[in-house]
Amino acid sequence: MSIIDATNLTVVDTELSSTGRDGFGTAPMAGVDFEPNSANASLRGIVFSRCNFTENFGAGIQFSLGKLGQFAPPVSVRFEYCRVDGNASALVAELGKRVNTVCASGPKHLGRGHSCTNATCPGSACYSSASPGFEVSANPGQRGTIVVVDTVTTDTLDHGLWIRDLAPGPLTLTFRRSSFSATASRPGPLRFPNFTAARGTHIPVTPVGVSPMGKYAWRAGGEAIGSVHFENVSITDALPRPWLLAERASSIGLTGNVRVANPHGCRVSGPGTSNMSGLDVACGGQG
């Protein structure tokens, strides 16, 4: 499902799954993609309740709000009692080395130059995609709330949560009583062969990735991530790696409390982790 303009939309007991299966799909191949096409679009009163986002080639839940203007109606989106499970992991066995490339339909992809060589796409384009549980990209000045409550994210190929652009400001992202486990299972770094270096080409995967990309939010210069709040969020990981990577961010505004269960410790990585005083991290063993 792609939502470009909606008011008072409720989706209940619905499965949004299996995008990009058999190596073909329509970009971005997320379970649900919030991607307004105009500056004054509405994303208000939207609720997903008891929904499953499973085995998608792209993100389970994706916010691409770059075209939304700062004077648009405040965003109001809520997820409750949902499950984000196995995005792209089912494609590993199915596509092998092509796991990060499928044939994408749609006019913006046809005829575009691509460096992908692992797929043959007659009549369409070879498309690469990250496969996180949640992916968020927004603009400075955008207003509103995105709230995720009592939601489980597990078995993702890439980050459980990937914040690409979310400037400190009046648009807030809140995770409440939610969990991330067995995420970021892709071996080695995450690479985007079709994207420019400005959007990142070499990102080690962690359960949570925070990565200003320079596509929308940072045209005016500066790098910061903010307005992200955690309330009773748990992250369970068994690998010897950071639970949080803050790549190229000069400051990072995460607040609230997180419990990290990892037998290898609870370290963070990246230049953006120097300012995390607003986040309380409880470190425990596995389980």
Pick the closest to residue 78 from 46, 40, 126 (CA basis): 46
Give the pLDDT confidence score for residue 194 in this predicted structure. 45
| Residue 216: pLDDT band with limits 50, 70, 90 | very low
Per-residue model confidence as pLDDT tens digits over 249-275: 666 778 999 999 999 999 888 776 766
Token look-up 């990565």 returns 211
Per-residue model confidence as pLDDT tens digits over 271-281: 767 667 788 99
Domain ranges in the chain are: 2-92+129-186+198-284
**CATH fold of the domain at 2-92+129-186+198-284:** Pectate Lyase C-like (2.160.20)
Give the pLDDT confidence score for residue 237 in this predicted structure. 94
